[in-house]
Amino acid sequence: MSRLHQAVACGDIEKVKECLAQSDDINEMSSTISSRGRKKPKLGEMTPLHLAAYYGHTQIAELLVQRGAKLNLQDSKGKTAMELAIFHHNLGLAKLLKQHGAIDKNNAFDNALASRKVAEEVYFATRFNKPDVIREIYAEGLLTKEIGENALIRAARYNSLSISEVLVVECGMSVNALQLGWIEDDHKTLKTPLGVAAEYGHTDTVEFLLAHGAEVDKMTHINPTESEDGTDTESSPTQLPELNGRNIPLIRDLARSKGCTPLFLALQHEESPRSSYPLEKIVYPHIIHYQRKPVNTRLIEVLLTHRANFKKINDAGFICLALSGFAEELEILLRHGLDPNLVVNGIKFIDICLKYSNRHHMAVPFVAHGADISSIDEQGQSYLHKSCNLELSKALVGRGVVIELTDNCGRTAIEGAATGIAEFLARSGASIERLDSSHSYVFSSPLLIQMLLKKNLVNFTVHDAQGFTLLGRLVTGKYFETMKVIMNSGVSFDINQVAYVREKTVLHLAFEKCVLDFLDPHPTHDNLYTQMIDLLISHGAKPLKDREGKTPLMGWVGHLNDGTFNPELVRKFCSFEANYYGVSPEVYERELMILDKTGFYPKIKQDSDESSYSYEDDNFASFFALNKNRGSTPTKTPLDIFWEKIEHAKVSQIKNEGPTI
């Protein structure tokens, strides 16, 4: 490739001038690769003018023509420069070549343009925001009404404001044209430019279209069921299916098929295909991904300012709004006069929101704007009973809802409420006498526990369905703050009572959970259980044996020798247990390390001759069950041997014989 070819391919006009000044051959044929160093297949033998036409470098092409470049030379594939310009959508450059006398094979620019299909050229110009191409096609008289109006819809889709201005102001296309749009999900679409711009959230295009006479309530029909000419089909009522998760897509389709105003489309937030790159950087327009549209409050305000009629939204459409998850848009509609007691398909709008726990926040603006909140359902529950959203609960209490109202089961709103809501209701004066301290929403709240402790309403001895006491739940759930509140409250309770099955105390549970805490690979891991162990020990927790004879520290057996725990930490807790059992820390630690290697209760495996047994795995139940079936006294386990040695060491120490075993 010559220097001139390289300069043209890179679009460096100064370098081109330098090469021409040095008398480089302006019509030399040379193979090339693409600019910016990205390799492409060989394009064949080309002149510099062919390259300029290929890459769309209009100024360089004009310079080459002025310096005597031959216009009608063919490359190795038989293409002229003008044909390449047309083929690659560089119509401005093609017209420049034509003005200087270039001809294509048919010797007619119009025929060449027509052969590339005008609709395709218009689509390309609209998609990549090239208003000059639209002007060229319009000047040639090839822009028909149908192509132009469809292009206006495309311009609205891609927010090509300059294209919209050319089509409306210069080409006279109607802003209210209802065009048969592209096919999406096998749905036939009848679209208006305003509807498309509103659907994709392009506020600037919406303002432009409204300023040029677009009808703010003109319907867009998606898969129209009765008419395809744009007539209003919402007058024919359709029975909506039952409101449940399975029928939501069907309800959405019904809402759209009955006709969508631009306002409704602006309010919709379903997943829509969006280009993967900003418009000016798109290289492959077929690459798309799906993302949810954000709330565009400015767009909604613009439509309502132009008196968009939200009453034209059908029942299915309002259900879609209730399920959209964006309360900001409903707040705007309510400010512009939407009835807060709106009834949709025989159901109050606020009840639709409360049907789904993750949509309760959608009811907040309706309550704030005066919706009737006195409704009681067949279970005797008020909106406060149903609320799973703190802001909704605050709004209801602020409106004066009865906090102590009981349902048919005699339950008030605070019973069964989420933690944050229960705390709010308690601060607002709700009675806490009937709160069950064994429920997670209570024991996860230091505030509620503190209030219950003051009234002596906490039961530390009762076990829940899983066998945990309150303290056991606090330890296993990592509720450190609540545990500190209880420990520092001064309330009397037995910290060494059984907290779980197999006679495990809270200290057993804390040590067992501590293993998971240390093995957790999460970067924010904070060893919270070691702090909880220290808290329990400081308030009198003892290293008692559980039903199997294990102490709390034995919950670490299996990990004492593998580096999971800091040796100093192990030594600290060994000393704690050794002091309780009356032996030296050195002896206790040594025997515990031996136990760590052997395991507690080896599983009995019957050998092939059925006359002998070997021990392999840690399985207490299997060990004793098989021994029982054999009708013999269970063999001593490593744990039995451990306690025998500890007892022997204790006796030896008492007799001042030293800790020798």
| Co-location of 217 and 323 in the same domain | yes
| Spatial contact of 530 and 552, defined as CB atoms under 8 Å apart | no
What are the beta bridge partners of residue 614?
605
pLDDT reported for residue 169:
92
40: which 2 tokens?
Answer: 């492409």
Q: What is the pLDDT of residues 313-329, one digit of tens each?
A: 877 778 777 777 778 88
- Tokens found for residue 22: 């040095």
- The answer to whether residue 320 is domain-embedded is yes
Q: Do residue 308 and residue 453 come from a single domain?
A: no
> Which residue type, as a one-letter code, is found at position 649?
A
Distance (Å, whole) CA 130 – CA 126: 6
Exposed/middle/buried for 111, CB within 10 Å: 0-12, 13-18, 19+? exposed
- 48 and 185 in one domain? no
Which SS3 state, helix, strand or coil, does residue 291 take?
A: strand
Q: Is position 52 within any domain?
A: yes
Q: Which residues of the chain have pLDDT under 50?
A: 34-41, 105-109, 112, 114-115, 182-187, 225-237, 271-292, 522-525, 604, 606-619, 626, 628, 630-631, 659-661
Same-domain status, 210 and 295? yes
pLDDT at 45: 79
φ, ψ dihedrals at 223, nearest 5°: 55, 55
Whether the Cβ atoms of residue 600 and residue 638 lie closer than 8 Å to each other: yes
Is position 321 within any domain? yes
Pair (189, 329) in one structural domain: yes
Instruction: Retrieve residue 468's tokens.
Output: 């945990």
- Residue type, position 32, single letter: T
Structure tokens at 247: 């029928």
Within-domain flag for 16: yes
Phi, psi (rounded to 5 degrees) for 89: 65, 20
Chain-centroid distance of CA 376 in Å reads 35
How many of the other CB atoms lie within 10 Å of CB of 634? 15
**Residue environment code for 613-628, b if the CB has 16+ CB neighbours within 10 A, otherwise e:** bebeebbbebbeebee
Residues 182 and 330 in one domain: yes
Give CA–CA dist 434/411, Å, rounded. Answer: 9
The Cα–Cα gap between 380 and 378 comes to 5
Q: What angle do CA 477, 482, 488 make, to 5 degrees?
A: 135
What is the number of helices (H) and of strands (E) in the chain? 33, 9
CA 332 to chain centre: 25
Among the candidates 338, 355, 373, a domain finishes at: 338
Judgement on whether residues 182 and 102 belong to the same structural domain of the protein: no
CA distances to 101, 111, 147, 334, 409 from 142, rounded to whole Å, are 22, 11, 9, 48, 76
Pairing between strand 271-275 and 221-222? unpaired
Whole-number Cα distances in Å, 590 to 507, 542, 579, 594, 600: 22, 21, 15, 7, 15
State how far the Cα of 389 lies from the Cα of 397, in Å rounded to an integer.
12
In whole angstroms, give the CA distance from residue 508 to residue 532: 12
CATH number, domain of 508, equals 1.25.40.20
Residue that has been written with the tokens 């105003």 in this structure:
261
Q: Which structural domain range is residue 39 located in? A: 1-116
Distance CA 170, CA 152 (A): 12
Work out the end-to-end distance of the chain between its first and last CA atoms, rounded to an integer number of angstroms.
91
- Residue 647 CA to residue 284 CA, distance in Å, equals 79
* 610 C-beta neighbours (distance < 10 Å), count: 7
Query: In the chain, what are the helix, strand and coil shares in percent, each to the nearest 5?
Result: 50, 5, 45
How many residues belong to the chain? 661
Q: What is the DSSP letter of 659?
A: S
What letter does residue 37 receive in the DSSP assignment? G
Residue 218 sits in the same domain as residue 109: no
Q: What pLDDT shows up at residue 241?
A: 59
Name the strand (E) or helix (H) holding 344: strand 343-344
How many independent structural domains does the chain possess?
A: 3
How confident is the model at residue 215, as a pLDDT? 92
Give yes or no: residues 329 and 230 share one domain.
yes
Residue 619 is assigned to a structural domain of this protein: no
Give the DSSP H/E element, type plus range, for residue 537. helix 528-538
Angle at which helices 58-66 and 91-99 cross, to 10°: 10
Kindly report the number of other CB atoms within 10 A of residue 496's CB atom: 15
Q: Does 106 share its domain with 201? A: no
Of the residues 527, 552, 577, the one at which a domain ends: 552
CA–CA separation, 481 and 445 (whole Å): 8
Residue 96 maps to a domain: yes
Name the nearest CA neighbour of 597 among 630, 551, 641. 641
Return the pLDDT at 191. Answer: 80
Residue 575 near residue 585 (C-beta atoms within 8 A)? yes
How far is it, in rounded angstroms, from Cα 448 to Cα 443?
7
Last residue of a domain, one of 552, 581, 615: 552
The distance from CA 260 to its chain's CA centroid, rounded to whole angstroms, is: 27
Q: Are residues 183 and 91 in the same domain?
A: no
Domain contains 639: no
399 part of a folded domain: no
Residue 16 identity: V
Q: How many CB atoms lie within 10 A of CB 441?
A: 19
pTM of the model: 0.63
Task: Please answer whether residues 383 and 354 qualify as being in contact, where contact means their C-beta atoms are separated by less than 8 angstroms.
Answer: yes
Q: What is the pLDDT of residues 356-371, one digit of tens each?
A: 888 899 899 999 999 9
Same domain flag for 100 and 9:
yes
Question: What is the Cα–Cα distance from 424 to 397, expressed in whole angstroms?
Answer: 10
